[in-house]
């Protein structure tokens, strides 16, 4: 699936040479920040949240994608690029959405930096276009309009879905990898990190158990998303079926009449009680489907990003996912 990111790669590369010329005047990257703490930079919310659970206040942790921002329109600022180049531990997803990172990491003269890519921690799944979903053909035409002048040549390759954290079991694998990297970087605090990790993993296992319990006792097996669908890992983990308007990282927001009609038919035909939408969505498509089918809507949290309000209120991957347990119970019964 294509993303918004290609258009940015060129701009990022152009600013890099200037930035690193500035940086190279400084001494080589220090292993710890000025305050003696390990510095961690995460591209998006899930890994940021995992890192803060493991490291607590013993590390400086930054998230590049600001709360409330659309995950697929992120552009690194010069400050972000310098932050990445100087950090001790860099946490990314590792997918195509972050292809702008390749040039940043290559140019960063920081041999001590550790990188944990979420997609390297789990078994990845190929992206898929589900029945009724806005078709790929349409998708590609749409994108060529904006990135036709960039001459990147690998567009038709199989691509893996990036939203690996949506399965709590994958979250555990990512958490363990972050813990391992932190313990190697900062052995003095290893016991603290490991204790936090063990506690957190136990909570994630409890969450996984709650999902399994709800699904085992539910009437149906189908989720309908009148929205993008970045939850492939979630439904595969729990053996659920789904229909959605768009794939996970789709750029479109206007589904075809055929897609909407298909989703309305499924909701009516299977008497699906709730049409779902994801965080930071305008939920217009879900509203339209629910209205036509005479049912209601609810938000299912993917944790791709978090709203500014939820972030300020201290919501976490765990709290947002726990809210999904109740939504799931409602949507499946």
Instruction: Name the residues that contact Zn ion, by CB under 5 A.
Output: 230, 248-249
CB of 54 closer than 8 Å to CB of 197:
yes
**Spatial separation of the C-alpha atoms in residues 54 and 171, rounded to whole Å:** 13
Considering the complex, what minimum distance in angstroms separates the CB of residue 242 from Zn ion? 16
**Spatial separation of the C-alpha atoms in residues 262 and 132, rounded to whole Å:** 6
Give the dihedral sign, CA 61/62/67/71: negative
**Spatial separation of the C-alpha atoms in residues 177 and 90, rounded to whole Å:** 12
Give the sheet arrangement for strand 296-300, strand by strand: 241-247, 222-229, 274-278, 296-300
Considering the complex, what minimum distance in angstroms separates the CB of residue 161 from Zn ion? 9
**Spatial separation of the C-alpha atoms in residues 164 and 239, rounded to whole Å:** 16
Closer Cβ to Zn ion, 39 or 43, answer by number: 43
Adjacent-strand bridge partners of 59: 38
Closer Cβ to Zn ion, 61 or 65, answer by number: 65
Closer Cβ to Zn ion, 193 or 234, answer by number: 234
Residue sitting closest to Zn ion (CB): 249
Among 262, 87, 236, 101, residue whose Cα is nearest residue 163: 236
Considering the complex, what minimum distance in angstroms separates the CB of residue 28 from Zn ion? 35
Considering the complex, what minimum distance in angstroms separates the CB of residue 233 from Zn ion? 12
Closer Cβ to Zn ion, 124 or 249, answer by number: 249
Among 284, 216, 136, residue whose Cα is nearest residue 275: 284
Considering the complex, what minimum distance in angstroms separates the CB of residue 246 from Zn ion? 11
Considering the complex, what minimum distance in angstroms separates the CB of residue 256 from Zn ion? 21
Closer Cβ to Zn ion, 75 or 265, answer by number: 75
Closer Cβ to Zn ion, 223 or 280, answer by number: 280
Strands 89-92 and 222-229: unpaired
Closer Cβ to Zn ion, 46 or 230, answer by number: 230
Considering the complex, what minimum distance in angstroms separates the CB of residue 259 from Zn ion? 19
Residue with tokens 């347990």: 325
CA distances from 93 to 31, 123, 161, 274, 295 (A): 23, 13, 10, 30, 36
CB of 45 closer than 8 Å to CB of 68:
no
Considering the complex, what minimum distance in angstroms separates the CB of residue 90 from Zn ion? 19
Distance of CA 171 to the CA centre of its chain: 11
Closer Cβ to Zn ion, 200 or 317, answer by number: 317
């Amino acid at each position: 699936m294509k993303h918004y990111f290609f258009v940015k790669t060129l701009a990022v590369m152009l600013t890099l040479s200037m930035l690193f010329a500035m940086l190279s005047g400084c001494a080589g990257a220090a292993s710890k920040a000025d305050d003696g703490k390990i510095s961690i930079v995460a591209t998006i919310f899930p890994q940021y949240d995992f890192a803060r659970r493991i490291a607590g206040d013993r590390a400086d942790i930054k998230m590049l994608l600001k709360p409330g921002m659309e995950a697929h329109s992120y552009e690194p600022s010069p400050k972000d690029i310098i932050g990445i180049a100087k950090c001790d531990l860099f946490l990314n997803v590792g997918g195509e959405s972050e292809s702008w990172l390749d040039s940043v990491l290559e140019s960063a003269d920081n041999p001590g930096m550790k990188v944990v890519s979420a997609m390297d921690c789990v078994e990845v799944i190929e992206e898929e276009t589900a029945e009724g979903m806005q078709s790929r053909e349409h998708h590609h035409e749409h994108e060529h309009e904006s990135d036709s002048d960039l001459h990147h040549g690998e567009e038709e390759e199989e691509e893996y879905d990036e939203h690996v954290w949506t399965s709590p079991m994958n979250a555990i694998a990512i958490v363990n990898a972050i813990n391992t990297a932190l313990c190697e970087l900062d052995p003095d605090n290893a016991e603290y990190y490991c204790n936090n990790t063990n506690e957190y993993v136990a909570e994630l296992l409890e969450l996984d158990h709650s999902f399994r319990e709800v699904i085992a006792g539910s009437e149906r097996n189908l989720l309908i998303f009148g929205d993008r669908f970045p939850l492939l890992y979630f439904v595969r983990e729990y053996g659920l079926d789904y229909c959605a308007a768009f794939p996970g990282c789709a750029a479109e927001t206007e589904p075809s009449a055929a897609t909407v009609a298909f989703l309305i038919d499924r909701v009516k035909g299977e008497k699906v009680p709730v049409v779902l939408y994801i965080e930071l969505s305008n939920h217009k498509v879900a509203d339209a489907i629910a209205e036509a089918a005479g049912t209601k809507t609810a938000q299912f949290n993917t944790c791709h990003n978090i709203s500014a309000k939820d972030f300020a209120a201290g919501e976490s991957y765990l709290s947002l996912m726990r809210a999904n347990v109740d939504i799931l119970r409602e949507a499946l019964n």
